[in-house]
């Protein structure tokens, strides 16, 4: 099996409000590591409060990568994430340090550890699919998928429009069933067995309570002012990908006069609770070398000892 990267790598994975940021910074202060953010919202410039982005003061003296790399009027996808990750890891290795991938974007973490099929994309075909949906409805596309690839039709989440569109796009481009393409060898990035995968967790009720307190802090810190400034500077609206991030989507609706502040807050909290539920489900899909309850996150010695042991194994 060929892997794109053949060097030590550490992954810190956990749900929202579990203490990943504080733990990673504490580790980076005492170990030869640099932090790579695995978060699809922290990449955006100016989106600081609503993403709970580590402050410049917190990042002082600790190299962070994949933060503030894209303006919020641009899209950010898996392809760009992998491109920026490659750039970051080259820089980290040049500094003779180890990458610590930290974040709750579970799909991105999974891709780095498990690999991905490098399926093609075609903007013209995507536009044609959008036209088909507009003229005939989504059921037209679902019927097409059922007729040309029944196995994918039965396994895919038909309520997830983006996944249905992407499946049909790949099939139209390649002329091959997606179910067949998925059986081909994937592109591999890291050897899971040679990585150190750490988990940080907590009870769902505790995470929700912490998330609600954090949301209250965001409002007090001025997320509405931040959002209003971003909206003016980049001419943002609800159609921009960045404005569909949790907190920004809900509070933008308030700024646009569609919902009250109280309603926006509750909707943001509900979205966060759903995210936590999804992330906790994702956590079951990872094989952790070590995990820690966030209630004891101040005791970073557990992870420090594990990381030191891991790094020594590469220096023998």
Going by the annotation, the residues of the binding site are 14-21
Binding residues for substrate: 16-21
**Phi, psi of 293, rounded to the nearest 5 degrees:** -75, 130
Half-sphere exposure of residue 189, counting CA atoms within 13 Å on the CB side? Answer: 19
d(C-alpha 17, C-alpha 141), whole Å: 38
Tokens 């400034």: give the residue. Answer: 229
| Cβ atoms of 104 and 14 closer than 8 Å | yes
CB 87 within 8 A of CB 165: no
Between CA 166 and CA 194 the distance in angstroms is 32
Is 306 in contact with 195 (CB distance < 8 Å)?
Answer: no
- DSSP secondary structure code for residue 190 in this structure: S
Binding residues for ATP: 14-21
Q: Please state, in angstroms and rounded to a whole number, the distance separating the CA atoms of residues 27 and 25.
A: 5
């Amino acid at each position: 099996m060929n892997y794109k990267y053949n060097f030590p790598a550490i992954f810190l994975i956990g749900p929202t409000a579990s203490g990943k940021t504080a733990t990673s910074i504490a580790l980076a202060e005492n170990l030869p590591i640099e932090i790579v953010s695995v978060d699809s919202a922290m990449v955006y410039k100016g989106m600081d409060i609503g993403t709970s982005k580590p402050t410049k003061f917190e990042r002082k003296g600790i190299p962070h990568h994949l933060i503030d790399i894209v303006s919020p009027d641009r899209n950010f996808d898996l392809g760009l994430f992998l491109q920026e990750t490659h750039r970051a890891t080259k820089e980290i290795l040049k500094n003779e340090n180890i990458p610590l991938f930290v974040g709750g974007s579970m799909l991105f973490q999974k891709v780095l550890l498990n690999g991905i099929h490098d399926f093609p994309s075609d903007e013209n075909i995507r536009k044609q699919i959008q036209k088909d949906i507009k003229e005939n409805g989504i059921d037209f596309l679902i019927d097409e998928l059922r007729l040309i690839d029944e196995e994918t039709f039965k396994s895919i989440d038909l309520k997830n429009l983006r996944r249905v569109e992407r499946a049909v796009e790949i099939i139209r481009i390649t002329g091959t069933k997606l179910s067949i393409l998925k059986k081909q060898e994937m592109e591999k990035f890291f050897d899971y067995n040679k990585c150190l995968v750490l988990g940080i967790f907590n009870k769902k009720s505790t995470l929700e309570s912490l998330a609600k307190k954090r949301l209250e802090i965001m409002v007090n810190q001025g997320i509405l002012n931040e959002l209003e400034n971003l909206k003016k500077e980049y001419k943002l609206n609800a159609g921009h990908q960045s404005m569909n991030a949790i907190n920004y989507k809900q509070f933008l609706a308030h700024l646009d006069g569609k919902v009250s502040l109280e309603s926006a807050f509750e909707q943001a909290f509900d979205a966060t609770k759903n995210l936590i539920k999804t992330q906790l489900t994702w956590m079951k899909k990872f094989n952790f070398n070590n995990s820690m309850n966030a209630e004891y996150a101040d005791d970073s010695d557990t992870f420090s000892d594990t990381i030191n042991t891991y790094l020594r194994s590469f220096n023998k």
